[in-house]
Amino acid sequence: MLSLVSGGAASGKSEYAESLILASEARPRVYVATMEVWDRESQERVRRHRDMRKDKGFVTVEAPRNLAHAELPQGGAALLECMSNLCANECFGPDGFAGAYDRIWQGICHLLDACEDVVIVSNELFSDGISYAPETEQYLSILADLNRAIAARADRVYEVCCGIPILWKGANP
């Protein structure tokens, strides 16, 4: 089962995505962490997310890049947090934009092959109407393509707004 959970910043999407994994009977529970920790703000965000998962039985797999090579336990329920970070890390990382979509898609396929239930969190970054620098526009385009491809393959697609999950595709568990 593949679920995509999207929403704006601080919309409640992470908490909702986690609830989907907690409802899964698949084990182990795997948290695929994609954030690269660069500063105090990112350290605080990681701390908050770890506190949210504390005592919930998650195994953490760090995969800020190269998801296709991540060592994943077989048959579990995985929460990938989040596609926006993974895409940025791939696009602006050492391997750059060339092939970023394919590298990320291979990682998603690797995750789907390994795990019974997968929930992918992604940010909604496309409705602000602002023009960005060409590199940022390229990143947003790749992320949008990935979100569409994930949604097309997903069994369930949710958008979380103000803490309220809206089901756009599939059926609630």
pLDDT tens for 81-125 read 999 999 999 999 999 999 999 999 999 999 999 999 999 999 988
User: Between these two residues, 129 and 141, which has the higher pLDDT value?
Assistant: 141
Asked if CATH classification 3.40.50.300 holds for the domain at 2-169, the reply, yes or no, is: yes
Task: Give the three-state DSSP class for 7.
Answer: strand
The predicted pLDDT at position 34 comes to 95
Domain ranges in the chain?
A: 2-169
The predicted pLDDT at position 54 comes to 81
**Over the stretch 10-19, which tens digit does the pLDDT of each residue have?**
888 999 999 9
Q: What is the mean pLDDT of residues 116-143?
A: 89
Q: What is the mean pLDDT of residues 157-165?
A: 96
Whether residue 129 is predicted with pLDDT greater than 80 in this model: the reply is: no
**What is d(CA 30, CA 57) in angstroms, rounded to the nearest whole number?**
8
Let me know: does 76 contact 32? Beta carbons within 8 Å. Answer: no
Whether residue 79 is predicted with pLDDT greater than 80 in this model: the reply is: yes
Cis peptide before 173 (omega within 30 of 0): no
The predicted pLDDT at position 9 comes to 86
Paired sense of beta strands 2-7 and 77-81, if any: unpaired
Cis peptide before 82 (omega within 30 of 0): yes
